Every structure is written in C-alpha cells, then in structure tokens.
Amino acid sequence: MTATIDNVPLLACRGIGKRFGGAVALDGVDFDLRAGEVHGVVGSNGAGKSTLMKILAGAHPDHEGTIEYLGQRVALDGPAASLAHGIAMVYQELSGVGQLSVAENLFLGRQLTGPWGRVQWSTMYEQARKFLAEMDVEIDVRQRLDRFPLVIRQMVEIARGLHSGARVLILDEPTSSLSPPETRRLFALLGQLKARGVAIVFISHFIEDVLEICDRVTILKDGRHVATERSVDLDKHRIIEAMLGRGLAGQEIGYEHAVTLPPPTTVPPILKVNSLSRAGLFRQINLSLSPGECLGLYGFVGAGHQELAHAIAGALRPDQGTVSLLDQPLRGGDLHQAVQRGMVLVAADRAQTLVRSSEIYKNVTLAHLQGAIGNWLTERREMQCVQPLLERVLCRPARPRLLAGNLSGGNQQKVVLAKWLLGDMRVLILEEPTRGMDVGAKEEIMRLVTDLKNQGTAVILATTEPELALSHADRIMTFRRGEISGEFAGLGLDKQTLMKSA
C-alpha cells in the first residue's frame, strides 16, 4: 500500500476557493490525489465537498486557486476539459440512460461507427462484454440498463468513466443506496482499480465505509480544509470530532455539550406505527407518538427516515404494516383520509408542497376549503380567513394575492404551514422544514412548530441536520439503512453521540 501512496500527486489543487454571491462555499482548500489511492472526502452538509468535486468535474470554471495535473497547470473550464484530463465523475443520483442497453450506455456519446455512420453493434457488444468482464461483471450487455440493480448500474457508470480514459474517478455517495453485499462488491472493484493505478475520490456520509476503503481521508468543514490523514491513523470518533470542528480547526459550534432531553411523556399515544415496511426504503418500523411531543427522526441522506415520514402521512404506500391514529387504522397511502383525520405532512421539496403559479390565498385554503370557506367560494371570505393567518405566521409580505412562487423560501414554508393551520392538526409531520433557509426564517418557522406542539399537536421531525433534531425534538430515533439504529429519550445527548448512532 505504501508504495503507491508515496507517489507524486496525480492531481494537486492549491488554494481552491469559490463563492456563491456573498456566501463562501470554499476557502483556500488544498487537496491532492495520488495514483492508485482511494481518497475519502468527508464533512457535514454544506462543508463544501460537492463544490470541490464540481470544480474538479469542470462545473465551476470561475473558482480561485490552481489545479495541477501530473505537475502541469491545467484549467478545468468545462466538463469536456475535465474529461480530457482523465477526470470522470459518477453521480449519486444515477447516471446512465435507463432505456438504453448496457452496451449503449458504455459507449454513450462515442458509439463505434463504420463507414457512413453505421453503428457497429456486434463490435460494441463484444467490447462492452469484455470490458465489464474485466471488472468481474458478467451480464448480458444487450439488456436495458434499468433492469439491473443499482450496484451494476454504478459499475457500468464506472466502467464508462474508465473506458473513456479516466485516471481519476470521483464517486459521490456511492454506497448510500447499496445493500451490504452490494457494497462489498463495489469495494472489491475499487480495490482492483486501485491496483491498476486509478485514483479514486470517495465522498460519503458513511464514515465506516470511508475508513474501510480509503487510504487517506480529507476532512472539510465550512468550506475550509481541516485535515488530510492516513485512514489507519483515524477512527470514527476522531473524524466526527474534526467534522464538527473541535480540535484542529478550533472554532466551536453548538451541541457539542449534551442537551438534556425531557423525561418521556406519560400521555397516552395518539399515533402508533406498527411494523411499517417498504422494500428498499425502510423495514419493520415500530413507533408511537403522544400529543404535545416532538419525535425527531435523524439519519444521513438515504437512511430511509424521510421516506418513512412520507409513508406515515399516507403520501407513500407501504408494503406492509399499519399506521393508526387514535387507535383507528388508516388506509395505507390514502393522503386524503389522513388529512381529514388531522395528520398532515410538510414535505422537504417545496416544489411538491406549493402551487407556485397560484396566489398565496389559494395555496392556504387548498386543504381545508370546505371547513374554512364552505361550498361557495368568495374572495371576501377567503381573504378574511387567510389574512390573519399570514400575519400569524409572519409571512412577508402578507399579501394573499401575490403569487406563491414570488416569495422567498422561508416565506413559502410559512404559507405551507398556514395551509395546515386552517384546520385541526393532530399530527404534524415535518421533513427538513428549514432546509436552505437563513437563520431568521429558521427560527420563526420552528417557533411556530413549538407553539403548535405546546397546544397539543404531536410533531414528527425527520431531518439530516443533527442540530435541528437536538434543538427541537423531545425524543430522537436514529436511522441507518432503513432501520432504527438507536433511540434517545430522557437523558443527556450530544451531537457526536447522535451522529455516531446513525
């Protein structure tokens, strides 16, 4: 291992910086990559991992700093330039054209053609088969790509990168949606590629995976380089410490010291979830929730807790298991019934929760038209309903006739909450309620949620941000690969313990 690691860097980045408007995404980051190593990149959300990788992939030509490839300064001013320098990226959300065959995907954009542009199918199939066989993937390359499991699709994508002459492979969250045996298979392949001198950048939230496969690990925090160390010198505890900013970078942030979760409530539960499962997303989930309680569901992206939130609310049909509200079972996947009974969902993606092309007041009254306005809709009645609500949720500007799409993200979320405030709310299910918002809006939204909770609404808070869960949840369940990996209630809890449990 040491022989390959001590080679000259294949890729050396010095002082890489990038701003989006006023916000600094990356600030003077150094990063180097040697041939034949797997280099892990870790950091919390917003640490700058993906910005750095996008710069390497040529997506941000206007960055600061210099990049050297084999000692020569290069300008990665577009995806084509990066590919020409042998840098290939395999994205998390796949990748490849599902409707085309495996072979066509392997040769996407550079099909083998004979005279007059005739596609040489037989040669293409043969080469594709040979190439995948080298990676120990034995499949029928004439089949459609989307008929294969995710790991095969990922391997085809990797093969495509290598086949186009890549010497640097960037893998973004490659294991987040793979099962453990599939992960083993991917790691075996990465080992093989390493031996062939390919350099691999491995970005992941799964610190165990990073420690297992990587030779060196670079830790980023808030757009700055914290450390690059050999993984044999690291352990999970130290990586999390560095990601959270203790020790090396110095600057302290909240929730390193334990917050004390309140003692478990004795109020009888309003919501019971019984062995809820959905293939590939979550398995055998049991939980219960009492009025006036906030249950945090915490996990990394892809852990399944967000889909679970959707399934509980009836937006996603579970394969098996039941959700019952006040001891009466709900039909799985029947959102209308759930809403009528007072269980509502605020999904993370506001493109899915707001009719942006319609006025604010139409969005607010949408869910409870009959109860709040009646059968005959008049503008006056709607305005009388909506105006006080907009002021209560501090929507700015509080003008019901404005198009909802013209509001800022935080205010759009307030409109979504106002929609549910119009009717009875027994259970409020929130998925990433404050994603991408500034501090002020975040606070206003969470204060609304807290008010509701104090009035007796049961709240489920599904999030990938540990700070959010720690500051608002009374009880926290952590998720890992679709299963509950820990539950915390009535004791002291800090961010490190929480993240380690996920």
Partner 1 sequence: MSTPSDKLQEQPRFRWDLADLAPLLTLAVLIVFFSLTGRSFFYPGTVTQVLEQGAVMGIVAAGLTFVLLCGEIDLSVGNMALWTACLCGVMYELPWVAGKGGDKNVPSVLAVALVILLPLLSAIVLGWLSGVLTVSSRLPSFIITLSMMYIASGLALYLTKSEQFHIPWIIERLGNGGFSLSAKLKIPYSALLAGGIMLLSHLVLQYTRFGRYVYMTGGNREATRLAGVRTSRIVIACLALSAWTAGLGGLVNAGRLGSITLDQNADLLLNAVACVVLGGTSLFGGEGGIPRTIVGVLTLSVLRVGLDKIAWIDNYLRTFLLGVVLLGALVLNGFLARRRRTS
Sheet holding 320-325, edge to edge: 282-289, 271-278, 320-325, 328-329
Does 339 bind partner 1 (CB under 8 A)? Our answer is yes
User: Shortest gap between Cβ of 357 and partner 1 (angstroms)?
Assistant: 5
- Residue 13 near residue 32, CB atoms below 8 Å: yes
Q: Among 260, 266, 328, 352, which residue sits at the site for partner 1 (rule: CB under 8 A)?
A: 352
Residues 6+ apart with CB under 8 A from 440: 410
User: Shortest gap between Cβ of 295 and partner 1 (angstroms)?
Assistant: 21
Distances (CA, A) of 309 to 143, 460, 498: 35, 8, 19
- Residue 57 near residue 137, CB atoms below 8 Å: no
**Residues numbered 370-409 forming contacts with partner 1, rule: CB under 8 A:** 370, 375-379, 383, 387-388, 391, 398-401
Q: Among 84, 326, 335, 446, which residue sits at the site for partner 1 (rule: CB under 8 A)?
A: 335
Pattern 402-441, partner 1, x by CB under 8 A: -----------------x----------------------
Residue that has been written with the tokens 């909450």 in this structure: 417
Does 356 bind partner 1 (CB under 8 A)? Our answer is yes
Residue that has been written with the tokens 């809403």 in this structure: 339
- Residue 307 near residue 264, CB atoms below 8 Å: no
Q: Among 369, 394, 446, 489, which residue sits at the site for partner 1 (rule: CB under 8 A)?
A: 369
d(CA 84, CA 66): 17
Pattern 259-298, partner 1, x by CB under 8 A: ----------------------------------------
> How many beta carbons lie within 10 A of that of residue 353, not counting itself?
19
Pattern 313-332, partner 1, x by CB under 8 A: --x-----------------
User: Shortest gap between Cβ of 57 and partner 1 (angstroms)?
Assistant: 30
d(CA 166, CA 189): 15
Residue closer to partner 1 by CB (options 227, 367) is 367
User: Shortest gap between Cβ of 376 and partner 1 (angstroms)?
Assistant: 6
Residue closer to partner 1 by CB (options 251, 352) is 352
Does 111 bind partner 1 (CB under 8 A)? Our answer is no
- Residue 283 near residue 482, CB atoms below 8 Å: yes
Pattern 229-248, partner 1, x by CB under 8 A: --------------------
Strand-pairing partners, residue 224, are 221
d(CA 204, CA 49): 9
Residue closer to partner 1 by CB (options 398, 502) is 398
Does 351 bind partner 1 (CB under 8 A)? Our answer is yes
Q: Is the dihedral of CA 466, 303, 261, 207 positive or negative?
A: negative
Query: Which pair of structure tokens corresponds to residue 450?
Result: 């807290």
> How many beta carbons lie within 10 A of that of residue 286, not counting itself?
11
> Footprint of partner 1 on this chain (CB under 8 A)?
315, 335-336, 338-340, 344-345, 347, 351-358, 362, 365-367, 369-370, 375-379, 383, 387-388, 391, 398-401, 419
